[in-house]
Amino acid sequence: MAVVAMDRIEEWRIKKEAYPRLAAILFNLGGRKVTDQSIAEEVRMISSEFSSVPVILLADTEDLTQILTALESGARGYIPTSVGIDVCVEAVNLAAAGGIFVPASSVLSMRHLIDSGSRDTRPLTTMFTHRQAEVAQALRRGKANKIIAYELNLRESTVKVHIRNIMKKLKATNRTEVAYK
């Protein structure tokens, strides 16, 4: 893989005829942040101008907000400077092959938010009776009315009444909405 370093995209525009077709553009942000509007706009501009060439950002931070903003701006990869050169090369190869690289460490660092935001931890007792809360939890787990009735020692018709009342309270039109809300 041939590598050409340029300070600015304008420099590339002037000299591009002297170089072979690009496989990828590695944009070094340094300490700048993609959440800065001017940087995000620059990434968008480069991504649209070179639409057939993946733009990969090299940055000093592993913040998930920065990564998501980069991807929303058109980047096909986000490489923190904390990764080794081998990972960097493979990330560029992945983007050049059509994939998207995101550092696993950034995603894993946000796991606590995913775990704490779990649907099972939402309090249902403030809105529902104890029995309705149990039925709602079972719905969230995707259980059928018959199974819910068996597990809660109820009649299936009673489960249906609970589901109808839950749907009214949540202003839901189907079971899927109940599970989501």
H/E segment holding residue 138: helix 130-140
Instruction: Order across the sheet with 55-59: list the strands.
Output: 25-30, 55-59, 77-80
Identify the pLDDT of residue 62. 87
What was the pLDDT predicted at 4? 72
pLDDT at position 112: 64
CA 55 to chain centre: 18
Is residue 144 within 8 A of residue 106, CB to CB? The reply is: no
Q: Are 175 and 143 in contact (CB under 8 A)?
A: no
Q: Write down the pLDDT at residue 115.
A: 61
Largest CA distance in the chain: 78
Pairing of strands 77-80, 25-30: unpaired
pLDDT in tens, 10-41: 777 787 777 778 888 888 988 899 999 998 99
pTM over 0.85: no
Q: Which residue has the higher pLDDT, 15 or 97?
A: 97
Residues 121-171: tens digit of each pLDDT:
455 667 889 999 999 999 888 899 999 999 999 999 999 999 999 999 988
All residues at 6 or more sequence positions from 124 whose CB lies less than 8 Å from its CB, including other chains: 132, 133, 136, 137
* Beta carbons of 79 and 56 less than 8 angstroms apart: yes
* pLDDT 10s digits, 53-70: 899 999 998 888 899 999
Residue indicated by tokens 């590695």: 26
Distance CA 46, CA 29 (A): 13
3 state SS of 25: strand
Domains and CATH numbers, the chain: 9-113 (3.40.50.2300), 119-180 (1.10.10.10)
